[in-house]
Amino acid sequence: MFTQNDLRQFQAKGIDVKVIEQQIDNFKTGFPFVELIAPATINNGLKTFSDADADKLMLFYDKNFEDFEILKFVPASGAASRMFKTLFEFREKYGVKADAADLLENDKGFNSAYNFFTNIRKFAFFDDLRKVMEVNGLNIETCLSEKDYNSIIDFLLEDKGLGYAALPKAMLKFHSYSDGPRLAMEEHLVEGANYGQNSDGRVAVHFTVSPEHADRFIEEINKVKDKYEELFDVIYELTFSIQKSSTDTIAVDSKNKPFRNEDESIVFRPGGHGALIENLNDREGEIIFIKNIDNIVPDRLKDQTYRYKRVIGGYLIELRNKIFEFLEKLEDGNLADNDLNKIISFSKEKLFLIPGPDFEEMTQIEKVDYLYNKLNRPIRICGMVRNEGEPGGGPFWIKNTDGEVSLQIVESSQIDLVNSAQKEIFSKSTHFNPVDLVCYVRDFNNEQFDLREFVDPSTGFISVKSKDGRELKAQELPGLWNGAMADWITVFVEVPIITFNPVKTVNDLLRKEHQPA
């Protein structure tokens, strides 16, 4: 199937031919659906804290964080182009000013072009847009009054203006302040200073960036770094990485043969955000906070974010300490029956670890070995918010092929919604995943886990795309907080909805949560 040129291409990308062969097998067989057992709900796999308990955990974090290496990990390579879908469609369909005006009147919904242009002065990037149009001989107020909307869109999205369509979200101006607007990336520097400080005043923040924007990304963040170091009396330790070429996946045609360019080279596509498990694995942090680049709010609303980051951080440290205490006993091996029962109870009640179907038949030595392996894994506390109709993965109990039941974050694409029983379970979900994680990635000997060993490779998915007018099939790796963390110790905690304020469309920036008071 592969030529010598193909093999050289694989070698250049750092991909073993066996990995390619496995990916092609995946195209042929498809990925299995997960088997849902039940949604994780409060008192059934989802932890909730009273205000008093939350206060205690927050104080516990404040007293203990100095003992750990803390890192804030921000996936920030995603392009902003999808934020402007409505504006692209508006520009494409209605080139004549009169028609454009009619369209605005026909759709006045929240994500409409009407809402965008009616409230355009409220965007943090408005002044930049006004200035760049002025340099090019256009007055934005005149364009608005004359209904020349397409000129405004052009200068917002295209390279002759702000070029926002081609930039990552990290480099867009999200929020307005009295001292000027902030880029999305700046808000993460502010957050890091408040809950991600190390004992020596360092704030370690890692951004994943796209290769085409890496230089400008670093240049922009270095322009503002000093400002926040002075404001918060900290020193930022900023690091950056790009998605590795070795995590790209092969594309195939309808017959599952490698999809080739005109020069006969094979087409590869990025493996999706699950590829970032490699980037995370390369970090040397101990406690790692993970949060998406667009889930941020202005300073006036950050208190709850800070509070619950410290709450889940405190709970992580509390569980980690108990797990390590038990691991030391299990490694020693001299356990009384009462000790073993305590470990089993803790694992079930606090970590939601359900022993496999053969557990009761095991000897004590086998149980010790089983529990040791289950406790000696990376740990993640996942904040979950009440489902108010937003799309996204949710917390579920699932059964794997070995018959073991575990907690997982599951996307709707992983569920067989044609199956009425599975659809019924899915419909009863009460919470969803806002990507609000805090992780512990070292074992009790202080050695870094190899996170690649805890991925479930059966949880990728296949989609249909096109290139050069031809249809191809693409494959994404197990998602970063889905299959890529499938074999972690997973604990779900309810967090307030105010901690979840993503920007999926440009008009989301008009929501009160993203506007000045």
Whether 202 maps to a domain, the answer reads no
CB 156 within 8 A of CB 87: yes
Does residue 359 form part of some domain? no
CA 243 – CA 273 distance, rounded (Å): 9
**Confidence at residue 401, expressed as pLDDT on a 0 to 100 scale:** 76
3-state secondary structure of 182: strand
Residue closest to 314 by CA, chosen among 22, 513, 57? 57
Say if residue 119's pLDDT is above 70: yes
So what's the pLDDT on residue 30? 94
- 10 Å CB burial of residue 322 (0-12, 13-18, 19+) is middle
Two tokens, residue 85: 């879908």
Q: pLDDT value at position 400?
A: 85
Structure confidence by residue, pLDDT tens digits, 486-496: 999 999 999 99
Q: What is the pLDDT of residues 433-454, one digit of tens each?
A: 988 999 999 999 999 999 999 9
Q: How confident is the model at residue 413 (pLDDT cuts 50, 70, 90)?
A: confident
The b/e string for 120-143 (b: 16+ C-beta within 10 A; e otherwise) is: beebbbbebbbebbeeeebebeeb
Name 150's Cβ contacts closer than 8 Å, sequence gap at least 6.
Answer: 91, 94, 95, 100
Domain-embedded: residue 431:
no
With b for 16 or more beta-carbon neighbours within 10 A and e for fewer, the 435-449 pattern comes to: bbbbbbbbbbeeeeb
Torsion from C-alpha of 280, 508, 475, 241, nearest 10 degrees: -30
Average pLDDT over residues 255-275: 94
Residue 100 lies in a domain: yes
What local confidence, expressed as pLDDT, does residue 468 receive?
87
With a cut of 70, say whether residue 203 has pLDDT above it. yes
User: Could you give the CA distance from residue 401 to residue 35 in angstroms, rounded to a whole number?
Assistant: 9
Per-residue pLDDT band for 152 (boundaries 50, 70, 90) equals very high
pLDDT of residue 98: 63
Residue spans of beta strands (DSSP E) within 327-378: none
Average pLDDT of the residues in 179-189: 97
pLDDT of 1: 76
- Residue 411: what are its φ and ψ, rounded to 5°? -90, 155
Residue 87 lies in a domain: no
Whether 127 maps to a domain, the answer reads yes
pLDDT tens-digit profile of 43-80?
Answer: 999 999 999 999 999 999 999 999 999 999 999 988 89
Tokens of 44: 């059934």
- Residues 17-38 have a mean pLDDT of 96
The pLDDT confidence band at residue 97, using thresholds 50, 70 and 90, is: low
Q: With 80 as the cut, is the pLDDT of residue 334 above it?
A: no
In the three-class reduction of DSSP (H, G, I as helix; E, B as strand; rest coil), residue 438 is classed as strand
Token code pair at residue 66: 């100095």
Q: Stretch 165-171: mean pLDDT, rounded? A: 96
Q: How many domains does the chain have?
A: 1
The DSSP annotation for 96-147 comes to SHHHHHHHHHH--STTSHHHHHHTGGGSTTHHHHHHHHHHTT--HHHHHHTT
Encoded tokens for 500: 């979840």
Alpha-carbon separation of residue 425 from 36, 119, 390, 422 (angstroms): 7, 41, 18, 5
pLDDT more than 70, % of the chain? 98
Whether 448 is covered by a domain: the verdict is no
In-domain check, residue 338: no
Domain extent for 112: 93-166
SS (H, E, C) 62-80: HHHHHHCCEEEEEECCCEC
* pLDDT at position 392 over 80: no
**379-386 and 489-494 beta bridge pairing:** parallel
Mean pLDDT over residues 16-28, rounded?
96
Q: pLDDT (tens digit, 9 = 90+) per residue, 248-264?
A: 999 999 999 999 999 99
